[in-house]
Each structure stands twice: as C-alpha cells, then as structure tokens.
Amino acid sequence: MTQFIEIVLQVNGRSFPARVEPRTTLADAVRDACGQTGTHVGCEHGVCGACTVLVEGEPVRGCLMLAVQAAGKPVRTVEGLAIDGKLSDLQEAFMSTFAIQCGYCTPGFLMLASGLLEAKPDATREEIADVLSSNICRCTGYTSIVDAVVKVAAARKEAR
C-alpha cells in the first residue's frame, strides 16, 4: 500500500501543503503539488541540471532531492525570479544574448546562475563557465549562456 506523508513546501515565499510519497522528488513536488511547472525534468538522474532549483540559497538538482528533505526549507524556482511581472536582470540578459533556443534547459541555468552570483558576485568568466558546465544545453552552444551571466555579473558590479 502506498504511504503518503503530509508536508509543507515553502516555494518562492508561499506555503504549499503537499501530500507526497517518501520517494517523491522535489522536482516532481514543485511541479505537481505546487503548480510551479517552470522547473523542468530531463534526465531524472542528476546529469542534465534542467531541474535545478535553489534550496536555502544553494543550487540543487530537484530530481536528486526528495520532497520530504526540502520540507520547511525556502525553495526558489524560476517563477520566483520575475517581480510583479518584471523579468529579472538574468532573464533579460538571457534574451538579449540569445541564450535561449528551445528553452527547456533555461530554468535550470537561470537558477544555477542565480545561486552562483549570489554566492560569488565577483565570479570571473572562467568560474562562471566552469559552474555552468554542470548543466546541459543541446541548443545554444553554451557561449551565449556564459555571455548572459557575465553581462549580469558586470552590471551588478557596476551598480554596487
């Protein structure tokens, strides 16, 4: 008989009561129980990074973390980047540098980059490229994605 556990997920500042199985991944719970379908699921075994979200500010693979492990912890997904309908600087930069083609990988890259720039605002291009290499994009060739993140890092530095 399937066992269910009642948890509360804190996603983008909102509380979502969820009834999950012990094996339910955070990525599935965010999509199915919280309706935040911007988080994508690709490989489901930690390779592609499409499912990347921030948990307590740290980028994690949502397909490798169980929903029960994230209960009560602040989770941020791509839906949390825009404020009052205004895209974040990273989202704008992805568009202006053509870092999006099919867009399937994009939410994961945006959350990975968000976590990186919060933890290391002065990251160099090489460091940014190194971190972003953990996620897979089949369309863009990566350079434009690195360009977008470097552009935001520079703009934020300028504004400090």
The residues binding ligand FES (CB under 6 A) are: 41-44, 46-51, 61, 63, 100-105, 137-140
State which residue, 24 or 140, has the beta carbon closest to ligand FES: 140
State which residue, 41 or 148, has the beta carbon closest to ligand FES: 41
H helix or E strand, kind and range, residue 92: helix 89-96
CB atoms within 10 A of CB 124: 11
What is the smallest separation between the CB atom of 27 and ligand FES, expressed in angstroms?
6
HSE-up (13 A, CA, CB side) for residue 119: 14
| Residue spans of beta strands (DSSP E) within 5-159 | 5-11, 14-20, 52-55, 58-61, 74-76
State which residue, 120 or 138, has the beta carbon closest to ligand FES: 138
State which residue, 88 or 101, has the beta carbon closest to ligand FES: 101
What is the smallest separation between the CB atom of 61 and ligand FES, expressed in angstroms?
5
What is the smallest separation between the CB atom of 68 and ligand FES, expressed in angstroms?
17
What is the smallest separation between the CB atom of 136 and ligand FES, expressed in angstroms?
7
DSSP 8-class letter at 46: S
How far does Cα 54 stand from its chain's mean position?
6
Look at residues 33, 27, 108, 35 and name the one whose alpha carbon lies nearest to residue 66: 27
